[in-house]
């Protein structure tokens, strides 16, 4: 940075100031993000997004480099959390790994059809609660999805599980 008051000049006022800031600090911001993500391409993307956010920032920022590093750190942590949530959803949605035995595949598909049929025969609230539970939703999230109070979620979920089991046994025998 220059010795002048460049640190507090609004970025929008001078494109040259922003270019200089970018050239001098992009690599450091990328390294900062890469320490969190462990992925260079993702770190470069996050660093670019941080610079764009800084360019759009309307208030004066005294320590632009510090602001960039803090911004990219929060963005990288958010990305890690989002990736982890996506990976968990994909793992839960993926069929279990097994050696591709046609008989076991057919049994699995039949069981899945049966579960879907039982779910469709239950009340919407019961089905929503059971599906939310299967997706790993918290009681708060399940309550919001089902349109019920959080305080009654546990009891309603237990009743939904009991009704599912009873209905499944009525329709298909033992679980």
Distances from the Cα of 60 to the Cα of 6, 57, 73, angstroms: 11, 8, 20
With beta carbons less than 8 A apart as the criterion, state whether 157 and 129 touch: yes
Q: Which domains does the chain have, with CATH numbers?
A: 5-92 (1.10.1740), 102-172 (1.10.10)
Give the pLDDT band (50/70/90) at residue 100.
low
Nearest to 60 by CA among 1, 3, 2, 6: 6
pLDDT in tens, 114-135: 888 888 898 988 988 988 888 8
Q: According to the model, what pLDDT value does residue 79 have?
A: 87
Q: CA–CA separation, 30 vs 33, rounded Å?
A: 5
Share of the chain above pLDDT 90, in %: 31
Question: What pTM value is reported for the model?
Answer: 0.47
Q: What pLDDT is stored for residue 65 in this prediction?
A: 87
Res 23: pLDDT: 94
Model pLDDT, residue 95: 66
Q: Show the 3-state SS of 91-117.
A: HHHCCCCCCCCHHHHHHHHHHHHHHHH
Residue 61 burial (C-beta neighbours within 10 Å; 0-12, 13-18, 19+): middle
- Distance of alpha carbon 140 from alpha carbon 126, whole angstroms: 15
């Amino acid at each position: 940075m220059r010795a002048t008051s460049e640190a507090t000049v609004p970025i929008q006022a001078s494109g040259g100031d922003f270019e200089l800031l970018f050239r001098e600090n992009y690599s450091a911001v990328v390294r900062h993000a890469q320490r969190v993500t462990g992925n260079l391409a993702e770190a470069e993307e996050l660093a670019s997004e941080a610079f764009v956010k800084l360019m759009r920032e309307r208030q004066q920022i005294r320590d632009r480099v510090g602001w960039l590093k803090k911004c990219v750190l929060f963005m990288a942590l958010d990305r890690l959390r989002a990736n982890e949530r996506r990976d968990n959803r994909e793992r839960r949605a993926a069929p279990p790994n097994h050696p591709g035995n046609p008989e076991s595949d057919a049994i699995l598909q039949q069981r899945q059809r049966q579960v879907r049929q039982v779910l469709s025969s239950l009340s919407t609230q019961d089905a929503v609660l059971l599906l939310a539970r299967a997706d790993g939703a918290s009681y708060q999230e399940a309550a919001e999805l089902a349109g019920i109070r959080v305080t009654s979620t546990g009891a309603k979920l237990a009743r939904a599980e009991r009704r599912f089991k009873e209905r499944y046994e009525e329709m298909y025998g033992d679980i």
